[in-house]
Amino acid sequence: YNIKYEVLICNPSENQIIDCMVSEVSKSHIMCYIENEHESPLNIFLSKQHHIGDEEYSKIKPRDTIKIKILATKFEFKDTQILVIGNFLKII
């Protein structure tokens, strides 16, 4: 038998720059996703502590497209999403 298959892999690395969509803005953090909010392989958090004094960060609203730099990632066996801690760069 000949078997043909295709695999999509998502494994972001530190210092990688990605575009993402903002899903939630709260007093302590901003949550983002890539592609589709309900099927995103990444669960992205931007902590307010990392952005004290950044006026652009305070202007971010839900549904904005932003560019971030990945600071850290974490996942375990059988997780459906990779937790990403990011640093906000700019609104696109």
For residue range 19-64, what is the model confidence (pLDDT) as tens digits?
999 999 999 999 999 988 888 999 999 999 989 989 999 999 999 9
Supply the pLDDT for residue 35. 85
Q: Are residues 48 and 32 in contact, defined by beta-carbon separation less than 8 angstroms?
A: no
Q: Are residues 42 and 80 in contact, defined by beta-carbon separation less than 8 angstroms?
A: no
Supply the pLDDT for residue 31. 96
Supply the pLDDT for residue 56. 92
Does residue 9 carry a pLDDT above 90?
A: no
Supply the pLDDT for residue 8. 85
Question: In percent, how much of the chain has pLDDT > 90?
Answer: 83
Q: What is the DSSP letter of 57?
A: H
Q: What is the DSSP letter of 28?
A: S
Residue 34 Cα distances to 2, 38, 42, 46, angstroms? 34, 10, 7, 14
